[in-house]
Each structure stands twice: as structure tokens, then as C-alpha cells.
Structure 1
Amino acid sequence: MQRRMRGWTWIGGHLLVVLGLLHAGGHPARAQSEPRVEARVSADSVKIGERFTLTLVAARAADRDVMFPGVDAGSAVFGDLHAVRRGAVRTRRSSTARRVDSVAYEVTTFALDSARVPVLPVRLASGGDTTVVGTPPRTVPVVSVVGPDAEALRTPAALIPFPRPAWAWGLLALLTAAALGGGAYGWWRWRTRDEEAPDETESEHPYEAASARLRRLERRHPSGDEAAKAFYVDLTEALRVYLVRRVGVRALEQTTAEVVAALRRRPEVQDATIRRLQAVLEQADLVKFADAQPSPAESRSVLDEAQAVLDALEATQRRDDAQTRDDAQATDDTPPSA
């Protein structure tokens, strides 16, 4: 009897050990097969316009293919970050059944205080099935570009008093009289010219004025840093002045994001035109604020795209004007009710 009890005890103990191992090993095996993605940044904090590295890492099964977002995905995917370029995808083996893929993006941001990094989608394909896994969202602090000794710069020391010679007062009086006389003469000339002919810039149609400014840019070849910045400043100013005069958007005092948001509130402007305008303005922002240096051929391509966007906006405005005239004519032709 005792030998039988010892036999059952031996069998039961080994059975419990086997069941325990199966129970403990089942969950890690499933967890190990699940894909994991994360986003890493190369700096704890950045400055406005500073370039840094965003790295996406995906751990997946060896039989799956990974697809990371493209560099041209825009703000809809990257949020407050602007992707400048993307590196090659690197793959390493973590085990016989697991692979780890990573890709690095060179990015920058123009956000204030903090830059929002949204959930970045990573697609995993196996056969005919595709799974989308998102990275956890995070925030990158954006620090002020004002140095730590800014307080000393804001509070200059008092000026040292010193006596002024008498001839200085006489020279100051002569300069003041000359300035007043020159100002009066200039005002008189301006009034005379204004009475003779209306201002050519104001009388010219907004579309014609903007097109003329863009055509003048065709003769320029921006090959240096300062030349490229001046080129893109003039290009965006032509578009923004047109938006103010023709569309009624306060584009001269708004950021690119605010201009895009204002246009999206106008149902007559097509989404495709808004996206093309946003791409032109964002490319100009990279040159003006992030020290990007496109080639002359790239700048010519952006100039052609700006003219195409201007043509599309003007076509929309003319259709809207024609519809307004037709509605007004229909109202005038309607006989009054008895």
C-alpha cells in the first residue's frame, strides 16, 4: 500500500511540474511572437528649426515584412515633425524566429514649447494579410533659443552723462530742417503722382500681379544659402499677397498651418489645391528656417508648382464669381409675388 502511494506521489509530482512549465512557457511564447514597435529620438529637447533623428524600431516574426512610413507622408502622419529625409532600413536577427528592423528619419520642427509625435503606423505583411501597429505617442520639449544670460541683455546699464558741444545742436537743427523739407517735398510728389495715375500695383488684378512676380523669379538662379532664402521669401510672399487680396485669407500674418486651416474652412477651395499649396509653403519654410539648400532644379520645380497652385486658386475664384453673378441675376429676374 505504501509503495502504491509513493508511486502515485512520484507520478503526480512530475505531472504538476510538466503542467507548470507548460503554463509558464505559453504566455512568453505568445508575447514573443507579437510585433512590437517604438519611436526613439536622438535628443531629450530640441530648438526650433534644429534637425535631429527620429528612429522607428520594429521587432517582428521572421516570416513578416515590415513597411515604415514614407518621408513624404506629411503632417498627417508625423504631426509637429517635418521629415527631411529617410535612411535605409536596417535588419538584424534577435533569434532564429525573430527579426528587428529599424529606420532613421532626419526631422525638424517649428512648434513652440513642445513638439507632438503622434502614433506612427508601421505595417507588417505576411502573405496576403497586413497588420498595422502603432508606436506609443510622445512629446519632445522645444527649448527657447534665448541664452541663459538673457536677463543681462534685457537690462542695459545706464548711459554715462557727458556734455554736448554747441555746434552739435546747430548741426542737429540743420539736419532736422533738411529732413522736414525733404519729407514735405516727397509727400507733395507722392500726392501729385497719385492724382495723375492710380497705383499700378493696387489697380492690377491680384492674379496678374502674383503671376508677374513668379515670372520674374524665373530669371533668378538661387545657388547659395542667402540667394535661396531670398528666392523662397519672394515666392511665398507672391502667394500670400494673392490670398489676402483675392481669397480674403490673412496669409501675411499667419503661419503655414493657419493658412491651410483657413482655406479648409472654405468649401469652394478643393482639397487637392490646398495640399499642393501646403507642400509649397512647407518647402519654403524648410529653406527659410531650417537652412535647407535645394538645388536650382528643385527650386525651379517648386516655382512651377507655385504657378500651378495659383492657376487652380484663380480658376476656383472665377467659378465662384460666376456663380454669384448668376444667383444675383436669377434673383433680379424673379417677379415679385402678388
Structure 2
Amino acid sequence: MQRRMRGWTWIGGPLLVVLGLLHAGGPPARAQSGPRVEARVSADSVKVGERFTLTLVVTRAAGRDATFPSVDAGSAVFGDLHAVRRGAVRTRRSSTARRVDSVAYEVTTFALDSAHVPVLPVRLASGGDTTVVGTPPRTVPVVSVVGPDAKALRTPAALIPFSRPAWAWGLLALLTAAALGGGAYGWWRWRGRDADEADAPEAASAYEAASARLGRLERRHPSGPEAAEAFYVDLTEALRVYLVRRIGVRALEQTTAEVVAALRRRPTMHEETIRRLQAVLEQADLVKFADAQPSPAESRSVLEEAQAVLDALEATRRRHDAQATDDTPSSA
């Protein structure tokens, strides 16, 4: 009898534990975390010009809508990668309150040794509230396309020196003198132009002022966190001051989402230009508010894109002004 009771205790103990877990509803569910976004590549390493797949995956709340970068965003968003095409956005349910969105890009790169993938922004919108989340930056190794017999390659031999005729030395002296004279004349004209601009009243157009401010950023090399933040602050200020003076948008006191919404309410603004401006401002927001650290090459690419957006905005504004002038009835 005692032996039978000990056998029942040995079997019934674990059974009671299992029944207790089932009655309690299993282990407690983990609290839902915030939005997460990651970038996945289809290969550990690629060759120059080889096409591969970049997949962005975002886990978000069911009440938010995810917007991924467009395929024509350029190097300002994709860094060393060149996006060829983008697939459809796929959505699956991970729980009753969570969704997982993913989109695949066919990309290639022409970088040497490694391709840098910067912080890729994904916008999450819920009603009028928009949040920008970014992927961690990563590097994709790029293997050499030189074959295994590269060891047989040799450096070119030194050129055999030839004596120069006397007339060649005379021609070289004349060309040197002409270059020095042209440089001195150009420096004199440049100094005179700067003096005229310093004495002239503040009558330059908003476009010229913004373009000049962006041009001055070309001489800066934002390699550290503080330098990068100051670089992007000046870049966005140039664009926002232009939007205030030329377009009439209160861009200095609005967020990026509010600036984009204000521009979309203007029928003369092109959607493509607005999306390019939004990409530049969001890249700057990631540096200023999310501690993103772009390389100097990426910053130069964003600067070039900012100048291109400024040119497009000014061209649109001038066409609108010309059309308004043509539509004005002339007095008899």
C-alpha cells in the first residue's frame, strides 16, 4: 500500500503542476514594446555591381501606418546602395495589437571594399501624429572582382626619360606666366566682388541667400558629433528660411511633418519636390534628435540633394509668378 502511494505521488506531482499552469492561462505575456525596425540583406558579401535584396522590417502597433523610403530617394537615404526597384509592402499580424510590415528593395552598389548602409528612416503615422524610427547603420562587405591570378600583376615600369627641346622650356615658361597672371586677375576680381557684396544692401533674393548659405557648407567637413549636428542645423535653417521668405510657410516654428503638410495644401507645389524635401529634413532630424552619425560623404550627398530641392522649389515658384503675371489683364 505504501509503495502504491509513493508511485502515485511521483506521477501526480508533475501532473498537478501542469494542470495548475493550464488553469492559470500559461506563462504571463510579455509587455508590448515600442516600434522596432531592422534592415536585412540577402547576402553576407556582394560583388561590385551585383544585385541583391535589402529588406526593411518594422514591428509596430496595429493603429499605426508605416511608410517606407521611396525607391528614388537616392544616396541621401540609401548611402552607398543604389535602389533599383521596390516590392510591395507585406503585412502580417504578430498579435492582436501588433503588426509586422516588410518591404524588399532590389539594390546594388559600386563601392569598394565595403558599402555603408546609413540609418534608414521609416515613418509611423497615427492620425495627425507621425514618428520617425531608423534602422541601425550597417556595413555590407564588397569582395574584389579581381581573379585569383592577381598576384601575377606587376606595377608598370618607369618611363624612359627623354630630353626636352629648348623651345619646350620656353613654351612652359610662357604658360606658367599666363597662369600666374590669370590667377592674380581672378583674385583681384574676386576681392572686388566680395567688397561690392559687403557694401550692397540686403536686397538678395531668398533663393540666392539660401543657395549661398548651402554653398558655404561645402567647405565644412562634419566628421564629429558636434560638427555633424551644427552642419545639419545650418543646412535645414537655409531651407526653412527660404520657405518662410519665398513660399510663405512658417517653417522656422514647425516640425518636419507640419512643413510637409503645409506645402501639400498648396496646389502649385509638386509632390515629387515635397517628398525630396521631406527626405532631406528627416535625415537632418535623425542627426539632430536621434544621434545618427553620417559619414562626411553622406553629408555631402545630403547637401547636394538640398541644393537640388532648393532649385526645384525656386523653379516652381518662378513658373507660378510668370503665370500669374500673364493672367493679369493689361490696362487699356
Larger relative contact order, structure 1 or 2 (CA cutoff 8 Å, min sep 6):
2
Answer yes or no: same fold by TM over 0.5.
no
The structure whose Rg is larger is 1
TM-score (ref. length: structure 1): 0.44
